[in-house]
Amino acid sequence: MMAARLLALLVLLGASTALAAPPRQADSTSLEFHGFRAGASLADLDALVRRYAGRTLRCDRAKADPHVSECRAVVRHPSLGPSVNVWISAIDSTAGVITLSTTMAADQLDRWRQTIERRYGRVDAQVQGPQWMMQWVRRGRMMRLTWRVERGGRAASVSLVDGRVLDTWGRTRSKGRR
């Protein structure tokens, strides 16, 4: 009898807690910028670069760890700007870090920021010395827009990081050292 009352009380407490808590929507968006997404395969990123630039990624294996590839490209597309440098650090052909960088006019930087904010929401810009930064985090992934004023315009970059790819690589490396 006592157990039945305790069970009923726990059910009521659980139900009232569930009713009081606002429903959470799942974050179904994967952080990406003009098709570039950390966690993507090098094959998918190569196809994207070919679509933007008409050439393939140039990749080199790291000497210290053959699982790591460093890839580079330059893309030109109206939505990105006249010439954007792309750098990808991939582990076992999966992008862990992607950086797109260029020098641009203020209006182009505003377009980059607005593109990201429309999809992922507004965040406050952080300032450290001459550099500004805005950051979004979703499901173990991070996107950061960084810029600073230079003589020729704004030096800007978007960095995309997949924490799960980097964590897996870190665990694999530490096991191999034992």
Instruction: List, for residues 39-75, the tens digit of each pLDDT value.
Output: 999 999 999 999 987 788 999 999 989 899 999 999 9
pTM recorded for the entire structure: 0.79
Question: Cα separation of 83 and 51, whole Å?
Answer: 14
Longest CA–CA span in the chain (Å) reads 80
Mapped to the 3 state alphabet, what secondary structure does 134-170 carry?
Answer: EEEEECCEEEEEEEEEECCEEEEEEEEEEHHHHHHHH
The DSSP secondary-structure symbol of 48 reads H
Sorted by sequence, the CB contacts under 8 Å of residue 150 that are 6+ apart come out as 103
What element of type H or E holds 49? helix 42-53
